[in-house]
A and B are shown apart, each in its own frame.
Chain A
Amino acid sequence: MIEIENVSFSYANSEDGALSDVSFRVQKGEVVLLCGESGCGKTTITRLINGLIPHYYEGELTGSVRVGELDVTKAELYETARVVGSVFQNPRSQFFCVDTTSEIAFGCENMSLPEDEIRQRIAEAAEDLEVTTLLGRSIFKLSGGEKQRVACASVAAMRPEVLVLDEPTSNLDMVAIKKLRKILLLWKKQGRTIIIAEHRLHWLMDICDRVVYMRCGKVKADCRMQEFVLMGACRFKEMGLRPLYLENLAPRNSCRKEHGESILLSDFSFRYKQAKTLTLDIGGLALPKGGIIAVIGHNGAGKTTFARCLCGLEKSCKGVLKEGGSVQKARQRLKCCYMVMQDVNHQLFTETVLDEVLLSMRKPDEAAAEKILDSLDLLPVRKLHPMSLSGGQKQRVAIASAVASRRDIIIFDEPTSGLDLRHMQEVSENLKQLCGQERSLFIITHDLELIMECCTHILHLENGRVIGNYPLDFEGCKRLELLFGSASVNRGNALESPFENRLQNSGSFKICKHPKAVEKKYMHQNMAN
């Protein structure tokens, strides 16, 4: 179905993601996972298949790319669009229309299908992908998971033979991932060819047939999923890949310095203007001071609202924060809390990295600023424009300015969405380093791996209320594992449905352990062979 032959490509204005002499074929109906570190060329391959290279992203291309009968490098984009459907990483920027129904119709309209046919396809796609209740809504009012499902529906309505997904789960929670899984399984059953570039691997184990591992623009491994699964955890780490199983993780943070002091929050309730119910409703809450607190919960549980209220950005939130002897209202909190936003581009203003740090200091002091930059490994780039840095560096610049302004509470909004293993660990190192000083960190995240790497405490929000507030010790781990385990399912096909039901019904930890034991046994046998 897809033939990529001797393709080399380099972007016109960037060195990242270049390919050198890549060849592989994908059979009709195959589901292929593309994995590898950031910048290894995964995204470039997806762009080759959907024709955005060379027609939209410019660069030097040699070799040939064929999808079915079509020579993608020569065909017009709208011709390729009929055969290849694409779902992208950022749910915010892949909608052309402002309401969901027109969005699903959009692709079909471009294909010039008759009106009745389009209506029928919309209904069908909406039914299949369980978005019927979302039809006719403004896309600005959907959660990330809902947006991603609508994006899938709009692609599905065009009924392409090939589907390309570029890191579709970056911004999704476990439940949304589970729904996306269902969509992929449906597409697979319909016999479509699917290519997925992804960092989070655990949800794809029983969907993908084949894995293509890339490094530095080359295909380094190309094997069946069954073989891939058998590579040990060490091998995965070596390859810079995220783990396949979420169950074996153990908390690893050594900087557990509980001084028994705590931060008290009271009356944190907040309602958006047009909302009927409270978006956030926290009466009283005690959290350990100086810890790394993971704020978890589904998309739309009120995590971001909580962060905004904590920072004092929502001035109408009457909540009070008590720490030691001081009582802080929203206005004072604005001066002692800092949020590192999910899109750090929003918070870098100045012309050089150094200026960025100086701007945050009460009394600009260049020597002190350089010291902070040095501690975050940013000294070599201090004269560069912040916008010219890589994503991780930008994030560190934002952290540096938080440190420079001497904030006691720093909040991170999804710091690892869409990051590979190495970058995720880098972030977690930064977090641990920050926490070593007299500081409390809050981390809003869906990333269990990150939580296990560095967090010390869990705050679980659902529907704006606190439903869990516990330290990440042995007991806490069990609770967390169960929580994430019941949402992600990555076992063999045969086991899947009955097992999943049992797990959800019983909600007990024992059963959760069971399949792992089976898998371990299986692995041992294979190794022996």
Chain B
Amino acid sequence: MQWSILQTDVDARGLVLDPRTKLLLLITMAVFVLGGVGSAKLSFFNPVLCLVPFFLLLLSHRVKTAMVSLLLYILAYLIMLFVVPHTMGLINYLLLGTGVVVMRLLPGILTGMYVLSSTTVSEFTAAMRKIHVSEKLIIPLSVMFRFFPTVIDEYSSIKDAMCMRGVNFGGRNAGKALEYRLVPLMICSVKIGQELSAAALTRGLGGNVHRTNVCRIGFHITDTVVMALCAAPYVGLLLSWCGVL
């Protein structure tokens, strides 16, 4: 139940963006926030970009996650701005380290969370097909969407079983705890994977005809806004290369 991150509930997800917009957002986040491309000249824009996932999470009814991470981000930002310049040595090191990690990683992780929790498998495949990705890539990717939540489900059952047996990382069999977790996990995953593919095959997956997709995706005003926000840093980067900025 606590792992609802990966489990899309169509009724209760609030704002809907086109998967392609989400993909663009994800790439932009990775390039500019995580990768820090053109950081010196575009650094003023990064916080703006970073606010996007917080808003998206807010709009998709994940208020608590959004607020907590927003506070964390602001805290890290303030520390970087006001505290770090006044510290020295080890403390400076630690603060700088955590600050950078939070500021660079957190927005990316949140975007990923948003994308996974708000995209259904059929939306995803529809989008992939629209940007002409090969079926050979789409099918395994869509299976992954389905498979991860299952594996997480299995993992939590196994964790419970370990807990009942008193096997944990702190206990008597600490050294083997990892092995004890992985062996049943792998066996269960393989079994489920097999049954899943059998079920999919009996529903005609992998035919020689072109699959239809009932899922209607398309761009709306919100998509345009997000895309414009995403386009801005690229334009900035181009301009800076041309020497304008």
Residue numbers of A with Cβ under 8 A of B are: 50-52, 55-56, 76-82, 84-86, 88, 90, 92-99, 101-102, 105-115, 118-119, 122, 136-138, 140-141, 154-155, 158, 272-274, 308, 311, 313, 334-335, 337-339, 341, 343, 345-350, 359-360, 387, 401, 405
Top 7 A-B residue pairs of the complex, sorted by shortest distance between their CB atoms: A81-B204, A78-B207, A347-B161, A349-B180, A110-B204, A93-B195, A94-B199
Q: Contacts A110-B204, A273-B2, A339-B164 given: A349-B11 contact, CB under 8 Å?
A: no
Could you say which of A85, A105, A158 contacts B122, with CB atoms under 8 Å apart?
A105
Q: Residue on B with the closest CB to A93? A: B195
Known contacts A90-B195, A138-B9; is-contact A112 B202 (Cβ 8 Å): no
Residues of A within 8 A of B1 (CB): 272-274
A-B contact pairs, 21 of them (CB 8 A): A78-B206, A78-B207, A79-B207, A95-B196, A96-B143, A96-B196, A97-B120, A102-B121, A110-B205, A111-B209, A136-B10, A273-B1, A274-B4, A334-B163, A334-B164, A334-B166, A339-B160, A347-B161, A360-B165, A405-B165, A405-B166
Q: Could you tell me the distance between the alpha carbons of A102 and B198 in the complex, rounded to whole angstroms?
A: 18
Instruction: Report if B210 contacts A (CB, 8 A).
Output: yes
Min Cβ gap A353→B in Å is 14
- Judged by DSSP, the binding face of B is helix
Residues of B within 8 A of A140 (CB): 4, 7, 149, 153
User: Are A98 and B163 in touch, CB under 8 angstroms?
Assistant: no
With A90-B195, A97-B121: A346-B157 Cβ-Cβ less than 8 Å: yes
| A residues near B43, Cβ cutoff 8 Å | none
CA distance A85 to B204 in the complex (A): 10
Query: Do the beta carbons of B7 and A110 come within 8 Å of each other?
Result: no
By a CB distance below 8 angstroms, the chain B residues around A338 are 164
- B residues with a Cβ closer than 8 A to A are 1-2, 4, 7-11, 120-122, 143, 145-146, 149-150, 153-154, 157-158, 160-167, 173, 179-181, 183-184, 187-188, 191-192, 195-215
Cβ-defined partner of A98 (8 Å) among B8, B181, B183, B198: B8
Q: A78-B207, A137-B9 are in contact. Are A56 and B201 (CB under 8 A)?
A: yes
Closest-CB distance, A242 to chain B (whole angstroms): 24
On chain A, the residues within 8 Å of B10 by CB distance are: 99, 101, 136-138
Q: Are the C-beta atoms of A77 and B161 separated by less than 8 Å? A: no
Verify A78–B208 contact, CB threshold 8 A: yes
A102-B215, A346-B158 in contact; A78/B204 too (CB < 8 A)?
Answer: yes
Q: Considering the complex, give the chain B residue whose CB is closest to the CB of A88.
A: B199
Contact B199 A95 (CB under 8 A): yes
CB B58 to nearest CB in A, in angstroms, measures: 17
Asked if B8 and A94 sit within 8 Å, CB to CB, the answer is no
Min CB gap A195→B, angstroms: 13
Whether the Cβ atoms of A98 and B157 lie closer than 8 Å is no
Contact flag A359-B187 (CB < 8 Å), given A98-B121, A113-B212: no
Least distance between A14 CB and chain B CB atoms (Å): 13
Closest A residue, CB atoms, query B154? A346
CB distance from A344 to the nearest CB of B (A): 9
Query: Which A residues are CB-close (under 8 A) to B210?
Result: 112
A99 and B157 form a contact (CB under 8 A): no
Complex alpha-carbon distance, A105 and B121, angstroms: 12
CB proximity of A224 to chain B, nearest CB, Å: 29
Known contacts A90-B195, A118-B212; A343/B201 CB under 8 A? no
State whether A92 and B192 are in contact (beta carbons under 8 Å apart), knowing that A349-B184, A360-B165 are contacts in the complex: yes
Cross-chain contact A77 with B206 (CB below 8 angstroms) = yes
A359 touches B7 (CB 8 A): no
Taking A56-B197, A112-B211, A405-B165 as contacts, is the C-beta distance between A85 and B202 under 8 angstroms? yes
CB–CB A96/B165 < 8 A: no
The answer to whether B205 touches A78, judged by C-beta atoms less than 8 angstroms apart, is: yes
Q: Are B163 and A154 in contact (CB under 8 A)?
A: no
Which single member of A141, A341, A405 contacts B9 (CB below 8 Å)?
A141
Of B120, B163, B214, which one neighbours A119 at CB under 8 angstroms?
Answer: B214
Q: A93-B196, A141-B9, A155-B203 are in contact. List 13 more A-B contacts (CB 8 A).
A: A80-B202, A85-B202, A96-B146, A98-B7, A99-B9, A102-B215, A105-B122, A111-B209, A113-B212, A334-B166, A343-B157, A349-B181, A405-B166
Q: Specify which of B4, B122, B195, B198 is in contact with A97 (CB 8 Å cutoff).
A: B122
Q: Which residues of A contact B4 (CB under 8 A)?
A: 140, 274
CB neighbours of A55 from chain B (8 A)? 201
The answer to whether residues A102 and B164 also contact, given A78-B205, A93-B195, A138-B9 and a CB cut-off of 8 A, is no
Contact yes or no, A313 B164, CB < 8 A:
yes
Query: Which residues of the partner chain B approach A88 to less than 8 Å between Cβ atoms?
Result: 195, 198-199
In the bound complex, CA of A78 to CA of B205 (Å): 6
**Closest partner residue, chain B, to A77 (CB atom):** B201
Q: B215's closest neighbor in chain A, by CB?
A: A102
Asked if B212 and A137 make an inter-chain contact with CB atoms under 8 angstroms apart, the answer reads: no
* Given known contacts A111-B209, A158-B204, A52 and B9 CB-to-CB distance under 8 angstroms: no
Contact A110 B199 (CB under 8 A): no
**Which residues from B are CB-within-8-Å of A102?**
120-122, 214-215
Chain B residues with CB below 8 A from A76, complex form: 207-208
List B contacts of A110 (CB < 8 A).
Answer: 203-207, 209, 211
- Minimum CB distance partner of B205 in chain A: A110
Residues of A within 8 A of B187 (CB): 345, 387
Q: Determine if B150 and A158 form an interchain contact, defined as CB atoms under 8 angstroms apart.
A: no
Instruction: Say whether A311 contacts B202, CB under 8 Å.
Output: no
- Residue contact A115 to B212, C-beta cutoff 8 Å: yes
Give the complex CA separation of A107 and B150 in angstroms. 21
Contacts of A51 in B (CB 8 A): 202
Task: Tell me the complex Cα distance, A339–B158, Å.
Answer: 12
In the complex, what residue of chain B is closest to A47 when comparing beta carbons? B198
Establish whether residues A97 and B184, one from each chain, have CB atoms under 8 Å apart when the complex forms.
no
Chain B min CB distance to A419 (Å): 18
Contacts A86-B199, A93-B199 given; does A350 touch B180 at CB 8 Å: yes
Distance from A178 Cβ to chain B, minimum over Cβ atoms (Å) = 24
Give chain B residues whose Cβ lies under 8 Å from the Cβ of A122.
Answer: 214
A52 and B202 contacting across the interface, CB-CB below 8 Å? yes
Q: How far is the CB of B242 from chain A (nearest CB, A)?
A: 45
